Structure formats: C-alpha cells, structure tokens
C-alpha cells in the first residue's frame, strides 16, 4: 500500500445512493415499467418427494388472458441442464434440469409455469393446473438421509451422502492420549434463509430482430450470471445483457441463476413477449434458497492449564434437495479456518454433506457463520471443564503479534490481524472483572446474567489461488475501468453487484483518491453487463478488498497519464514532483506545494481534443481498465462481547449490551463499514435467537409466512458499541482487509456463549440454536441453581 496518507479514502461522506432511495425513485426490478409484459406464476409441489405422473393444463389454458403453461419437458427443449461437477475429491457430480421432469424433490419445487396477462390471473390459472403426483418416502433430515435403505433424493447418486472430505495433520490420536482432558462439544445450527426484503424477481425481454436477451434482475454477480444464462439458453455471451439497478438486499440469495429465472428468460424467447416474475414471500420462504443447517462436533485435547494440544472436527451438513453450488464448498471453509486465532498444530476434520427433501442450500451472509461459535464454544467448554476463566483460556491459546504471519494447521496463513488487541479492547470496554461481580450479585437476587466472548477471524476475500487449491472453478480477481471524459467528468465501473453496500459512495472515494479529485465528480456505474467490466461480483466480503484495490490501481494508472500530460504542458521532462490535488496539478518542491495553473479538466480536454499536444507516442483519450487478483486469502478479525439476561422462568433472553472491536484494516467509507457491522451482527443475533426454517417430520415446510419465520425487529436488538481498529493489510494496495460477514460469525458465537454463561449455575449447556425460550426452558426444567 502507498505510504502517503489518504485524503478521500476513509472520509465519512453520507451516501450518494440515498436520495433516490429516500424519495421513492429507486429502480428495483419490479419498478421497471415494461409495456406489454406478461406475468409468470409457478405451480409448486405440495409434496416433499413425489413422481410427477401427469400435468394437465387444459383448464388453465382455456382461461382468457393465459398465454402459456410451461413444464419441465418444455424447458428441457429450450435450455440445458445445470451440471455441478468440479473435480473435487469426495464430491459427487450432480445435474438438474431447468424444471423437474419426472419427480419433485421438496415442498415448493416448481413443476410448471403459468404465463398470463397479470399476476392475479396467473395465480387463478395456477390453481387450475392439475398435477397428479405419486408420493415417495421423504428424507426429512440428515440422520434419515444416512439411514440404511432410505429413499434417494437424487437417484443418480449411490447414496444421499453427496460429499465427504477428510483431512488430518499432526497426530490427533497421540495428542488425545497425552492430554490432561479431552473436551467434547456439539453445535447444532438450524436451517435459515436470507430473507432480503425484496424477494427474487426478474423481467426478460427477448428481441427477436437482434436475437438478444435483456434480463432485468437483482443480482450480486451480473457477469457470472450472464455466462450461466447464455450457456443454458445456448446463446452467446454477446447475446445477453444483464441489468441490475437497485437491489433490495441479497445476502447471498441473489448469486445463483435459479430455475425460475431461467424459465422466465426461456419463456420470453419462446413467446417473443416480455415476461416478468416477482417472487412472492411464500415462494421466497419455501423455495428460494436456504442455509446454515449443520451439526458440528469438536474434540479438544487440552493440558491442565487449558492449552490446546489437538483438535478434531466433524461437520454434517443438510444441504437440501438441489446443489446450485458444489455441496462441499460452504462446510469445507468452516473446517479450513476453524482454528482462527488459536495456536494448534495437530488437527483433523471430516466434513460430510447430505441431500434431503428440503429446499436447496446456498451461501448466506457468512457461509462459514458457524465457525466462530464452534471454536469459541469449544474454548468455553474447555474453561467449564477445567474450571478456568474463559478469558484466560483464550489468552493462553491465542496467537500473539510477534507470531504473525501464522500458518494454521490447514496451511491457511493469517497475517496483519490483531486478535489479542481486539479481545483486550472489547473486554476492557465491558469491564470484564466488574461484570463478574455484578453477575454474582444478580445471581443472589435470582437474576441470571451471562457474558459471552467470541473472537472472529473472517476469511473475506478469496483469490484465484485459493479457488485453484480448493478445486473450485472460477477466479477471485476483479475488474474495473475509469474513464475521464473530455469535460473532466469521471465515470468508473467495476464488476461488483450492489445490494445496499454503498458502493457508489465508497468507490467514488477510491477513484477520487486515485485521481486526486473530489469524489462528488466521480460517478460509479454498476450492474449492467454491457457497461461494467467482467468481474466476479459481490460475494464473501470481497467488495472493498478486491474491488476497491482494482479500482484504486486503475485510477492510479489514469493519474499517471494525466500527470505525464501535465509535465509535457509545463515543459518538464518528467512528471516527478507533480501531483493532482483537488482537481489541480501542483508541484511539490521541498515540501511546499506550488500551483501549476493546470486543472484536471484542462488535461482531459487536451487528452481528447488536442492530441498533438500530448507527449510523443502517447495515445489520445483517457480510458483505463485494469484487473487485479488478490492474495489467496485475506483475513480480518474482531472480538465480540455480548451481555444477556436470561429469564429462567420463561426462557426469554434479553440482550443488555453488545460490544465489537473490529480490525478491518483501511476503511474506504467509515459510514458504510459501520452500517455493515450493525447489519451483520443483527443478522447473526436474529438467526441465533429467532429465525427458524422449520420442516415437520414428513419434510413438509411449516414456515410459509413471516408470522412463522421470525426476523429480529427494532425491539429485539440492542445498541451496538463498535470499537474500530485499523491495522492495514500489507498484501492489499489500499490496505483493506474486508468485513461484513464476520459480524454474523461473532454474534452467533457471542450470544450462545452468553446464554451458556447465564445457564451455568444450573449445570446445563445449550448446544443448539435457535436459543428459543422453549428450548432453554427444556434445558432448565427440573434444574435448580
């Protein structure tokens, strides 16, 4: 990273996106007017697992205004199946058609698509599509999936075990034998869903004359989506435009090309009419994408003073019925980075992923969300078992600044992180020792307070080398362009997909920094694949690190050329000593800045309109593009502390205090970063306490409304106290380390540890989430302090 101090990067500038969003002038998919568009509605399976015997659409098609009823057989003619088959050891290849042809695999699986004049009519017609099913035995959970003689969710596989991976380094058995104690813990995370307030949706326009498809859609990854859509419709990537303007939240749900979207695109081409679909909330809950259902067990071999000698991890993930992603991909990251800030060299894991008759899983903000809970819950279990202070156990095992860069047992390297510093800052803020006194006093009054610690090491930005090593096809690089127009106006773009992260603000600061101009003069263009460069989009927490760095480097290229032009105009041999400051070229002589009288706009004019004035051999114009591939992995870190009060009579948990010390390096926009910190912690707490995508024993989804799927409201969440820290990454041109998922990881662990601290006098431990009142009561029932 450059040694000069930033003047635009890191400034707290209110967001540029806000005005249109505050006044009702945003353009979300559904806000785009498309004259003559037909509306789609999907007929969905009421069964978790059944053969499709017959689909009779006669009654629906007879309704005036109904244009078509499409089935899996239709779509199979017009589109290719999705094959997920990366060459990864232990992972079975899988394939799915656009719509099911012969059997449905979960409650909510789409079996037909009605296309009609409006959505009301489409729903009327959908009720009249008769589908005859022959129900099959359903696989409702991971245990059933692995049971002998169970039904096969995917009949092309030998069993429901779609992926199994093992790893071992050192000798965990030897460490167990020599340990003072072997501490076993379990962590069961429940099924959740992303729940963007804007559900999925798209509008497809097929231009028959130009043979071109435009798909309006809220997408986190416009270009990879285009690649997929073109391939599956047997089109060239030059025949497809993806346009994603404002997006009402994504959280990982708006990455994959879903079957509904492909169906709508194919329908538009088939009918030669614009077709649009807006998912309703019930569909979004039942059938968009789920996440997080996994059971982890750890076995920690420890010394009598709580030092970790060896660690073993087992993960069993319930991935649902369909794989839109390689099934091993989420859980394996958990196993790879589990040890986080703790020193241990003997480590082994087994990661198993099974298919069940439930909605398919995918990455949800912090796909590795359970990691910190598992590691920090293990730390707490060690403390409980050895009757040590949990803070002290952490201190004894945590890597110190002098030991960095530190190589985790899996080979992952952490550098430029500050786990001890964030932990100490957070416990100082909550006055840890005094809390223990307050806790003891409260217990004497029959009130149960708990404090939970959770350190987070967040894998934010995956470089191409990480993907290569993991066997996953794809790249971690990002792309950007910067264009300075003849008037001096600045346009810039990159391949990310915004869904609320304030990119237009933060990246205008990055470009402003790189160019030496006011960010207000920079306009960031996102989401249209004809405009933006081919980038890898927004997932993980790569936006600031990969995107910010690429754009900064690109703006520096522009800056360099402009200063070279300035040098020529000033009659200098080189641009050394020249700088662009606030849109003016200055000369730095012995620490003094001297105005040269040349402006940014003048240079732009010259570059375009007076090419003969340019240095010899320089091409006219100011048009720059750049790609950048970040290091294999970038990590940031944080420490979370949560204080709760548990009402032991009702099982209700109230959060009294929440502190986060987070070190995400250089911050592009402190405004945006703080918002992301709040949002991530909120999502973690909401999931750990309230949200639960529940299926019954027959694999029927019983969570079809927001009265069932409970998301935290303003009265459920505390005020968050953030302690920002900024140790830059030396591996990144701007020094950013990424953030925005770690808050979820920390919250899940901190709240669980806090509740278990409150439960401690009763001798019980909560090993699963959600930490619902009835679950906590079931632990407390019959117990006394």
Tokens of 534: 């081919």
Identified binder of other proteins from the candidate list 89, 437, 560, 649, rule CB under 8 A:
649
Candidates 246, 346, 416, 662: give the one binding other proteins (CB under 8 A). Answer: 246
Determine, following the binding rule CB under 8 A, whether residue 715 of this chain makes contact with other proteins. Answer: yes
Binding mask 739-778 for other proteins (x = CB under 8 A): ---------------------------------xxx--xx
Contact by Cβ (8 Å): 611, 574: no
**Alpha helices by DSSP H, 572-649:** 600-609
What minimum distance in Å lies between the beta carbon of 686 and other proteins? 9
Q: How far is CA 480 from CA 308, 492, 550, 551, in A?
A: 45, 7, 6, 5
Closer Cβ to other proteins, 88 or 748, answer by number: 748
Q: 55 or 63, CB closer to other proteins?
A: 63
4 by Cβ neighbours in 10 Å (0-12 / 13-18 / 19+) ranks as exposed
Does position 671 interact with other proteins (CB under 8 A)? The reply is yes
Q: Which of residues 118-157 bind other proteins (CB under 8 A)?
A: 119-120, 123-124, 127
Name the minimum Å distance from CB 356 to other proteins: 17
Which 21-40 positions form the footprint of other proteins (CB under 8 A)? 21-26, 28, 30-31, 33
Binding status of residue 705 toward other proteins by CB under 8 A: yes
Nearest to 165 by CA among 324, 322, 326: 326
Q: Which stretch binds other proteins (CB under 8 A): 240-248, 418-426, 623-631, 659-667?
A: 240-248
Distances (CA, A) of 541 to 292, 392, 633, 634, 739: 18, 31, 11, 10, 6
Q: How many CB atoms lie within 10 A of CB 403?
A: 10
Minimal distance, residue 371 CB to other proteins, in Å: 21
Residue 702 sits in the site that holds other proteins (CB under 8 A): yes
Which of residues 2, 7, 19, 95 is near other proteins by CB under 8 A? 19
CB of 544 to other proteins, least distance (A): 15
Instruction: Name the 3-class secondary structure at 269.
Output: helix
Residue closer to other proteins by CB (options 601, 688) is 688
Kindly tell me which of 434 and 715 has the beta carbon lying closer to other proteins: 715
Chain positions 678 to 697 lying near other proteins, rule: CB under 8 A, are 678-679, 681-683, 690, 692, 694, 696
- Pick the closer one to other proteins by CB: 249 or 471: 249
Distances (CA, A) of 228 to 130, 225, 326, 367, 494: 32, 5, 15, 22, 19
Distance CA 242, CA 215 (A): 5
Minimum CB distance to other proteins smaller for 19 or for 593: 19
Nearest to 87 by CA among 326, 345, 387, 423: 326
Q: According to the binding rule CB under 8 A, does residue 710 interact with other proteins?
A: yes
What whole-number distance in Å separates Cα of residue 15 and Cα of residue 24?
Answer: 16
> Which is nearer to other proteins, 472 or 660 (by Cβ)?
660
**Residue 781 binds other proteins, judged by CB under 8 A:** yes
| Range in contact with other proteins (rule: CB under 8 A) among 305-313, 489-497, 547-555, 675-683 | 675-683
End-to-end Cα, the chain, rounded Å: 55
Region for 278 from its dihedrals, namely left if φ exceeds 0, alpha if ψ lies in -120 to 50, beta otherwise = beta
Cβ proximity to other proteins, 337 vs 780, nearer residue: 780
| 18 is a site residue for other proteins (CB under 8 A) | yes
Between 409 and 547, whose beta carbon lies closer to other proteins? 547
DSSP at 177? H
- Rounded to whole angstroms, what are the CA distances from 576 to 354, 586, 619? 61, 11, 20
Smallest gap, in angstroms, from Cβ of residue 580 to other proteins?
29
Q: In the range 533-592, which residues lie near other proteins by CB under 8 A?
A: none
Please state whether the peptide bond connecting residue 658 to the residue before it is cis, i.e. omega within 30 degrees of 0.
no
Residue 620, both tokens: 């006219």
Q: How far is the CB of 780 from other proteins (least distance, A)?
A: 10
Complex with other proteins: residue 220 or 455, whichever CB lies closer: 220
3-state SS assignment for residue 661: strand
Is the CB of residue 457 less than 8 Å from the CB of residue 340? yes
Does 64 participate in binding other proteins (rule CB under 8 A)? Answer: no
**Residue 516 phi, psi (nearest 5):** 80, 35
Residue 719 is a binding residue for other proteins (CB under 8 A): yes
**Residue whose token pair is 């920002």:** 724
CA angle, 259 then 264 then 269, to 5°: 125
Region from 183-191, 376-384, 607-615, 677-685 binding other proteins, contact rule CB under 8 A: 677-685
Q: Which is nearer to other proteins, 398 or 722 (CB)?
A: 722
CA distance 433 to 413: 33
Closest CB 123 distance from other proteins, rounded Å? 5
Find the shortest distance in angstroms from Cβ 713 to other proteins. 4
Identity of the residue, 119 or 468, whose beta carbon is nearer to other proteins in the bound complex: 119
Select the residue interacting with other proteins from 231, 282, 388, 413 (CB under 8 A).
Answer: 282
Token couple for 252: 């990982």
Number of chain positions touching other proteins (CB under 8 A): 77
Site residues for other proteins, window 339-398 (CB under 8 A)? none
Contact range with other proteins by CB under 8 A, out of 262-270, 276-284, 424-432, 583-591:
276-284
251 contacts other proteins (rule: CB under 8 A): yes
Strands 413-414 and 448-462: unpaired
Whether 115 and 267 have beta carbons less than 8 Å apart is answered as yes
Q: What is the DSSP letter of 707?
A: T
Options 338-346, 511-519, 565-573, 699-707: segment touching other proteins (CB under 8 A): 699-707
* Tokens read off for 551: 């754009």
- Residues 11, 526, 360, CA angle at the centre, nearest 5°? 110
What span, in angstroms and rounded, lies between the C-alpha atoms of 627 and 494? 9
- Which among 416, 456, 449 is positioned nearest to 430, based on CA atoms? 449
Nearer to other proteins, 245 or 338 (CB): 245
CB of 629 to other proteins, least distance (A): 28
CB of 317 to other proteins, least distance (A): 23
Whose Cβ is closer to other proteins: residue 248's or residue 731's? 248
Q: In this complex, which beta carbon is closest to other proteins, that of residue 7 or of residue 650? A: 650
Which of 143, 237, 623, 716 is close enough to bind other proteins by CB under 8 A? 716
197 binds other proteins (CB under 8 A): yes
| Per-residue DSSP letter, 761 | G
């Amino acid at each position: 990273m450059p040694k000069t101090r930033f003047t635009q990067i890191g400034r707290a500038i209110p967001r540029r996106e806000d005005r249109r969003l505050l006044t009702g002038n945003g353009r979300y998919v559904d806000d785009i007017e498309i004259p003559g568009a037909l509306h789609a509605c999907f007929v969905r399976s009421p069964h978790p697992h059944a053969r499709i015997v017959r689909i009779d659409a006669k009654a629906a098609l007879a309704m005036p205004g109904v244009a078509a009823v499409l089935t899996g057989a239709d779509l199979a003619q017009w589109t290719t199946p999705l094959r997920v088959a990366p060459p990864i050891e232990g992972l079975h290849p899988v394939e799915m058609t656009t719509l099911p042809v012969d059997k449905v695999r979960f409650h909510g699986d789409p079996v037909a698509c009605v296309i009609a004049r409006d959505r009301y009519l489409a729903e009327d017609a959908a009720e009249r599509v008769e589908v005859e099913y022959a129900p099959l035995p359903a696989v409702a959970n991971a245990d059933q999936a692995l049971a002998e003689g169970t039904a096969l969710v995917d009949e092309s596989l030998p069993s429901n075990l779609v992926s199994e991976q093992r790893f071992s380094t050192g000798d965990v058995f030897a460490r167990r034998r020599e340990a003072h104690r072997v501490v076993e813990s379990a962590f069961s995370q429940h099924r959740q869903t992303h729940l963007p307030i804007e559900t999925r949706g798209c509008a497809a326009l097929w231009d028959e004359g130009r043979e071109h498809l435009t798909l309006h859609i809220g997408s986190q990854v416009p270009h990879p989506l285009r690649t997929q859509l073109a391939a599956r419709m047997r089109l060239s990537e030059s025949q497809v435009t993806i346009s994603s303007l404002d997006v009402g939240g994504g959280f990982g749900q708006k990455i994959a090309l879903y079957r509904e979207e492909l169906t709508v695109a194919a329908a538009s081409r088939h009918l030669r009419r614009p077709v649009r679909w807006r998912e309703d909330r019930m569909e979004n809950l039942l059938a968009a994408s789920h996440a997080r259902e996994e059971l982890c067990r750890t076995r920690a071999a420890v010394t009598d003073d709580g030092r970790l000698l060896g660690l073993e991890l087992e993960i069993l993930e319930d991935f649902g019925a369909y794989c839109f992603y390689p099934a091993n991909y989420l859980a394996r990251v958990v196993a790879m980075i589990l040890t986080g800030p703790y020193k241990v060299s003997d480590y082994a894991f087994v990661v198993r992923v099974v298919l069940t008759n439930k909605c398919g899983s995918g990455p949800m903000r912090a796909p590795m969300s359970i990691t910190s809970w598992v590691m920090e819950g293990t730390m707490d279990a060690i403390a409980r078992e050895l009757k040590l202070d949990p803070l002290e156990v952490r201190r004894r095992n945590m890597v110190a600044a002098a030991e960095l860069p530190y190589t985790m047992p899996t080979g992952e390297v952490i550098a430029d992180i500050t786990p001890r510093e964030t932990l100490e800052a957070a416990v100082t803020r909550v006055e840890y020792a005094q809390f223990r006194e307050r806790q003891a006093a409260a217990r004497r009054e029959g009130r149960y307070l708990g404090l939970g610690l959770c350190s987070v090491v967040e894998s934010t930005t995956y470089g191409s080398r990480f993907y290569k090593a993991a066997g996953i096809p794809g790249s971690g690089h990002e792309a950007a362009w910067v264009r300075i127009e003849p008037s001096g106006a600045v346009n810039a773009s990159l391949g990310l997909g915004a869904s609320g992260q304030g990119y237009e603000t933060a990246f205008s600061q990055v470009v402003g920094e790189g160019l030496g101009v006011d960010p207000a003069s920079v306009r960031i263009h996102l989401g249209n694949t004809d405009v933006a460069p081919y980038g890898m989009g927004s997932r993980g927490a790569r936006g600031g690190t990969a995107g910010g760095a690429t754009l900064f480097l690109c703006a520096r290229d522009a800056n360099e050329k402009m200063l070279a032009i300035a040098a020529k105009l000033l009659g200098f041999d080189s641009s050394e000593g020249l700088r662009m400051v606030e849109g003016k070229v200055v000369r730095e002589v012995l620490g003094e800045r001297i105005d040269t009288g040349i402006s940014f706009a003048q240079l732009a004019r010259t570059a375009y309109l007076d090419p003969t004035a340019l240095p010899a051999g320089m091409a006219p114009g100011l048009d720059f593009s750049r790609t950048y591939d970040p290091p294999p992995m970038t990590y940031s870190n944080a420490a979370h502390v949560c204080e709760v009060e548990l009402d032991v009579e009702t099982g209700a948990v109230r959060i009294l205090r929440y502190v986060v010390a987070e070190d995400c390096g250089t911050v592009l926009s402190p405004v945006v970063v703080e918002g992301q910190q709040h949002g991530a912690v909120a999502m973690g707490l909401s999931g750990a306490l309230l949200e639960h995508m529940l299926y019954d024993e027959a694999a029927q989804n019983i969570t079809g409304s927001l009265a069932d799927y409970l998301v935290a409201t303003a009265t459920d969440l505390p005020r968050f106290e953030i302690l920002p820290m900024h140790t830059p990454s030396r591996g990144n041109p701007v020094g950013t380390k990424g953030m925005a998922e770690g808050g979820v990881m920390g919250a899940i662990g901190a709240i669980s540890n806090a509740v278990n601290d409150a439960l401690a006098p009763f001798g019980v431990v909560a090993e699963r989430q959600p930490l619902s009142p009835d679950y906590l009561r079931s632990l407390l029932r019959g117990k006394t302090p």
